[in-house]
Amino acid sequence: MKRKLAFLLLFCFVFQSLSLTVVQARNISDSMKNSVTYKEEDEVVSETVYGNDPQTSKRVAEVTYNRYPVGVLDKAKKLGKTVVREDVERRTANSKHYQLSDGSFIADITMGPQNFLDNTGNWQPINTELIDEADLDMVNIPFSQVSSDVLKKIVLKNKEIRKNIKIDRTKTSYRAPQVPFDVKIPKKFDSGYSIGKGSEKLTFTPIKANTVTAVVYSKAENQNDRDNANTVTADVYSNKAEYHNAWDNTDVQLEVLDIGIKETIILKNNQAPTTFRFHVAGDIKNSKNFELQPAWLVDANGTKRDVSQIIDEADGETFIQLDVDTTDLQFPIYVDPSVITTSTSKDMTCNDYWHSCYDGSSDSFSVGSWSGYYDSSYNSYEGFFQFDLTSIPINSVINNASMELYIFSGYTDNSHTGNVYRVTSAWDETTTQVPSYDSTNSVPTVTGYLGTVLNSVNKPGWWVTNITSIVQQWANGTPNYGVMVRTGALQSAKIIRTHEYTDSAYRPKLTVTYNSPPIVSPTVLSPNGGETIDSTFNIVWNGAVDPDNTQTSLNYHIQLSTNGGGNWIDLVSQTGAGVTQYQYNFSSVSDSTNALIRIRAYDGSLYGPWDQSDAPFTIKHNKAPNAPTSLNPGSTSSSTPTRVVTNPVLKWTFSDPDAGDAQSAYQVQIFNGSTLVKDSGWVTTSLSSYSVPSSLLARNTTYNWKVRTKDKKGAISGYSAAYYIKINNLPIASITSYTDGQQLTDNVLSFTWTYSDTDGQAESNYQILGSQNNWASIGYDSGVKSGSATSFTTPPLASGTWSFKILVKDGIEWSNAAYRNNLKLPNAFEPNDSNTQAFPINYNQTYSSLINSGTDVDFFKYTAPTTGIDKLVLNVPSGLNYDVYIYDSAMALITAGVHGAGLQEKEIFDVTSGRTYYIKIVGVGGNYSTSLAYNFSLSSVTLQFQTTYQYDSNGNIISKTTTIVR
């Protein structure tokens, strides 16, 4: 099981990258930096950076470091290869990749972070060194992206201060500018330290700690000076600040790790306090970037013990309290609280007996079995480990993959066999159920031996397992959910360091040797979707990217699919080196509207990923259109031509054997017998119709016409069959009722007429129209009537002079109008003195009548054909005062016009379709005349709206006005 280590405040970041090592020559300006030399020493390549001593101007070596990790060099040597370079472009948060002499790579993958993302977006090696804020403007190093904004402000502030005065170092803090989080270590311990990322920040301020000004000791100062100090001082050892007597008889160390801050509280004797309380600024309970780890202690004899750690709230504030039980312990006692970051990698242990998982946040846990507790069997623990392998290119060939787990203790010193399985379901460190795994396939593993002492921590070792086959599956695209490690023997448990362990050297790691295919596919440029290809076509692409080879050395594999990617055939298995276009003749390829091209690079040993057309293109070998069909109007027989008007619209149907092709042009020819009457020529349009010009065709004459078309590529169809048409003769109507100028005695007219047609076609429709103003407007319209009738009776019409016309239709065309003019209709409205006697009227006619006595009242009525607004206009003779009243069918008053003598009355009112309305005209105060007639008309109103906009000087609308225009 994972041992709970004391007060480890693990502030956890979610890393998305890997780390790089930075050499920092402090206090060396850019002008002082000189050349770099390399030398071979026991296969370890070292690099020395030189500068000039500012006092003596002598050339001195400032720092020497290994270019490549010794472990990587050793593994390359075992393979008989050498390290050529680190491929910095492949860095991520938790990996580095080194190219070997044969072109393959070694990936050094860890569960903890190796790199931080700098302020320019590049991965740099993590460097935990602390730098005084007062010196930040004197160093030339990349800053971590998460702390860059804060540190840049400090740099600018320093430069301003230096212009006038010396920086007061008693007021500055320490920073670690090259870690993947923002950290601030105080010079005054009681000021508190902080860690943050993004918008989230946690600050831990000690309660009742000693309040004195910190003194910074150099490494050269001896321990006696620090032990005898009367004030709290901070001793800085690269990445560690030491506070002496932070509390009475208690020292504190704050150490910056790659994953956070490790705090160590040292109780020097039995006079030291045993309760330590911190105020916490920030939401530690709901933090997404940080987590609080269990607290633990170890005394001078190596005895370890859990430490009570409680988060509580008081008056809206958050506190952490540590209560240390020192019973039977030997001083000094080290209490270890730390703050670490989370990783994209993860690990946990699951109990096979209880089928549950835990210890996902501890720095160690068990793998293997312990002696039985509940029965004669035994409990077994499986370890689950998931490394972030996103930095290994997909489809890489995995030559070797070794997983290394550090065993620091075990139930016995025996070596045990076991198996490693590929996990097949997602999980995280809070998972309580055992994830599923592939039980049918596993790789063997052997734990190796520990020392001879039970539970020994003096002779730990690495447990190495070859998981090449599993990593190859992940590289081929199988989801990476990690591995499960199991040992089968009784009492085989080993205690494993996890990725939460503060010392990065002992966390789980994975070393992968692989050959990388081209990591960026070529990009298909053409055909890339929408093209239509007939024969020869130039296939074009952008070159692939291969970290091992130049573009000029890559060959390309090109394939074609004619069914949307269902099947593929080779167009060329391998092009010439470095080409980015290839000409291919598609003439022999079957037509397709769902064709795709895909291309991949070949570097001489591996193929890279495919890139294919973004959308389908068409392969079509063009064919001429079919002769047009479905010609209309017309008949294929000259003896039965189709009768048409003089300017018919000729129509046809276009078709083409090439799916999706369309008409681009047509040509129509019209003949009288064999004589060409009209040739339209080629008309460029996709419309399949032609309007014959007026006056071209003579009535009672037979013609034939034909048409041909072009497709979009200009291929011409054959002519259609000839279709015959005959131009129609107009029917004739003759009015047989009334005579022009006749004075009638009734307002209801009965018209009769005769119908004749030289083509022998029957009458199909007729219409009677009347006008009172010489056809300036229509006063009466019967509407188009169907049938062969030769008589029609009008409704009562207004008095006055009328002209009428009758039209008939032969099923094809209307005849010319037959007229009867100047018929004089009498005032035959009386008696109409009540609504029951109301005279029926129509729209758009002028009705004239008399109020011929002081008691005379005239009623009229009509039925509204549609719902809308109607208008009635009453013209009153001069000197007379007539009013008008309008009622609905229940004789409820709707509106009234009651103006003075001689004034026109105009009333607008709403009507509903199908309802009857009554109009009453009456003399006011006995007004009447036996000779002076009034007149009125009824019409339907169409409302029109007019909107006027007002704008300001900038063209913005500031107001608008909408009015009704009648």
Residue pLDDT, tens place only, 643-668: 999 999 999 999 999 888 999 999 99
Q: So what's the pLDDT on residue 624? A: 92
User: pLDDT confidence of 289, banded at 50, 70, 90?
Assistant: confident
Higher pLDDT, 374 or 130: 130
Fold held by 839-944: Jelly Rolls (2.60.120)
User: pLDDT confidence of 611, banded at 50, 70, 90?
Assistant: very high
Higher pLDDT, 222 or 338: 338
Percent of the chain with pLDDT over 70: 86
- Listed in order, the ranges of the chain carrying CATH 2.60.40.10 are 523-619, 626-727, 732-825
CATH class held by domain 626-727 = mainly beta
User: pLDDT confidence of 964, banded at 50, 70, 90?
Assistant: low
Least confident of 546-550, 554-558, 830-834: 546-550
User: pLDDT confidence of 683, banded at 50, 70, 90?
Assistant: very high
Could you give the count of Cα atoms lying within 13 Å of 796 in the half-sphere of its Cβ? Answer: 16
**Which amino acid is it at 632?**
N
- State the average pLDDT for the chain: 85
pLDDT value at 215 more than 60: no
pLDDT value at 130 more than 70: yes
Across the range 856-872, mean pLDDT stands at 95
pLDDT value at 687 more than 90: yes
- Which two tokens mark 943? 């409302």
User: Can you tell me the distance from the alpha carbon of 866 to that of 912, in angstroms, rounded to the nearest whole number?
Assistant: 6
User: pLDDT confidence of 341, banded at 50, 70, 90?
Assistant: low
- Which two tokens mark 54? 């500012």
Of 23, 11, 5, 88, nearest in space to 61 by CA: 23
User: Can you tell me the distance from the alpha carbon of 873 to that of 864, in angstroms, rounded to the nearest whole number?
Assistant: 17
Across the range 776-799, mean pLDDT stands at 91
CB 936 within 8 A of CB 873: yes
Fold held by 732-825: Immunoglobulin-like (2.60.40)
Other Cβ atoms less than 10 A from the Cβ of 604: the count is: 12
Q: So what's the pLDDT on residue 680? A: 96
- Which two tokens mark 156? 């600018």
pLDDT value at 963 more than 90: no
Least confident of 225-229, 265-269, 813-817: 225-229
User: Can you tell me the distance from the alpha carbon of 884 to that of 286, in angstroms, rounded to the nearest whole number?
Assistant: 83
pLDDT value at 451 more than 90: no
Q: So what's the pLDDT on residue 238? A: 81
User: pLDDT confidence of 51, banded at 50, 70, 90?
Assistant: very low
User: Can you tell me the distance from the alpha carbon of 484 to that of 382, in angstroms, rounded to the nearest whole number?
Assistant: 6
- Which two tokens mark 892? 């409820």
pLDDT value at 579 more than 90: yes
Of 112, 107, 111, 84, nearest in space to 96 by CA: 107
Least confident of 38-52, 328-342, 687-701, 825-839: 38-52
pLDDT value at 18 more than 90: no
Q: So what's the pLDDT on residue 608? A: 85
Q: So what's the pLDDT on residue 60? A: 37
- Listed in order, the ranges of the chain carrying CATH 2.60.120.380 are 839-944
Q: So what's the pLDDT on residue 381? A: 86
- Which two tokens mark 461? 């070792």
Percent of the chain with pLDDT over 90: 60
User: pLDDT confidence of 227, banded at 50, 70, 90?
Assistant: very low
- How far is CA 506 from its chain centroid? 42
Q: So what's the pLDDT on residue 287? A: 82
Q: So what's the pLDDT on residue 70? A: 84
Higher pLDDT, 142 or 931: 142
Backbone angles phi, psi at 638, to 5 degrees: -70, -20
Q: Which residue has the tokens 């006008």?
A: 771
Q: So what's the pLDDT on residue 61? A: 35
Compute the C-alpha angle 24/27/30, nearest 5°: 75
Q: Which residue has the tokens 């010079």?
A: 187
Query: Which CATH architecture group holds 523-619?
Result: Sandwich (2.60)
